[in-house]
Amino acid sequence: MDPQRIDALLGFLALADRLKTVERRGLVPLPDGTLRRENSAEHCWTIAVVALLLHREVAAETDLARVLSMLAVHDLVEVEAGDTYAYDPAGRATQVERELAAADIVFARLPPDLGPRLRALWEEFEAGETPEARFAMACDRTQGFLQNVLSGGRAWRDHGVALADTRPRMAPAEAVDPAFAALIGALYDRARQGGMFGEAPPA
């Protein structure tokens, strides 16, 4: 491997490592009973575990290696664009523009044979049109919901996220396969029983 390629790969890995510093609104329960913010790297790792667990539970045949590759890169743009909270309308209004600009920066750091390949995986995930992308999306949204349940719904309550607010986000994941519908349904049951949702904002 030539020195320029080594430098490019190490530089990109250093850039990707910054994902550990991107905080999400989701909270992680600690052994002492306190909560801390989840970071995007932890989020990506947990989604990969969800994918490994559910890959054989769904009816559609998917390429697991491609799914895991998509999950590994799907949030890399956040090192430049930051995380956009799923229930922040103002942030979501500019998310596409910000993340496209970030993708130009992030994937350009790779050698020319790798940058387009990783960007294509990111674009496939964002488009959500292939079986692998739909499965990856369902894993992503399931993990986010799970994180809220594990932390007792604190982020939902802090941001006034009502049960009804979560339905548009979770319905596409539930529609991917009955396995996702069953898992997400069980999480909804736990969230309702635990009084985890916030109050809907006044009309």
Res 201: pLDDT: 55
**Is residue 28, in this structure, part of any structural domain at all?**
yes
Res 199: pLDDT: 79
Range of the domain at 146: 3-193
**Is residue 95, in this structure, part of any structural domain at all?**
yes
We report the CATH number of the domain holding residue 93 as 1.10.3210.10
**At a CB cut-off of 8 Å and minimum separation 6, what does 87 contact?**
159, 161, 165, 166, 169
Kindly write down the DSSP assignment for every residue of 78-125, as one continuous string.
HHHH----TT-HHHHHHHHHHHHHHHHHHHTTS-TTTHHHHHHHHHHH
**Is residue 178, in this structure, part of any structural domain at all?**
yes
**Is residue 203, in this structure, part of any structural domain at all?**
no
The per-residue pLDDT for range 88-101, each reduced to its tens digit, is 999 999 999 999 99
Question: Per the structure, how many domains does the chain have?
Answer: 1
Going by the DSSP 8-state scheme, the letter that residue 117 receives in this structure is H
Question: What is the pTM for the complete model shown?
Answer: 0.94
pLDDT less than 70: residues of the chain: 200-203
Which amino acid, 59? Answer: A
